[in-house]
């Protein structure tokens, strides 16, 4: 089985732009979670989707949004990028709703200049 795939691996944007990150979960996994990882704040929960519905959302501004498609693939979008949005964005999938074991992708490293 292929693992969780995140694209692109690296991304460089400038302030004010918007960006879309993609995540393909492991086949059969219906839950997808997104995390932001920075040296200062560590791993911060962004949101979680199950069967195209957002089940939970972290404490991030409305500039951060996401969605999940019927094939469980997920995208997250960040609009009006700020320097502080520079981070490693990690996607994780799970076969169930219980979050008992998350399978992570390698992440998208976003740099905002």
Partner 1 sequence: SQQGEEDPQALSIQEGENATMNCSYKTSINNLQWYRQNSGRGLVHLILIRSNEREKHSGRLRVTLDTSKKSSSLLITASRAADTASYFCAMDSSYKLIFGSGTRLLVRP
Contacts with partner 1 by CB under 8 A lie at 4, 33, 35, 41-45, 48, 55-56, 58, 88, 90, 92, 97-107, 109
DSSP 85: G
Judged by beta carbon, residue 58 or residue 67, the one nearer partner 1 is 58
The minimum distance between CB 91 and partner 1, in angstroms, equals: 9
The minimum distance between CB 16 and partner 1, in angstroms, equals: 26
The minimum distance between CB 45 and partner 1, in angstroms, equals: 5
CB 21 within 8 A of CB 95: no
CB 66 within 8 A of CB 76: yes
CB 49 within 8 A of CB 32: yes
């Amino acid at each position: 089985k292929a693992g969780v795939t995140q694209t692109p691996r690296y991304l460089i944007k400038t302030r004010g732009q918007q960006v879309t990150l993609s995540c393909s979960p492991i086949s059969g996994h219906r839950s997808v979670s997104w995390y932001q990882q920075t040296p200062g704040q560590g791993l911060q929960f962004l949101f979680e989707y199950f069967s195209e519905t957002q089940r939970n959302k972290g404490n991030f501004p409305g500039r951060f949004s996401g969605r999940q498609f019927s094939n469980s693939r997920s995208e997250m979008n960040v609009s009006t990028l700020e320097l502080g949005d520079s981070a490693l964005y990690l996607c994780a999938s799970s076969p169930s709703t219980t979050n008992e074991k998350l399978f992570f992708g390698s992440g998208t490293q976003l740099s905002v200049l």
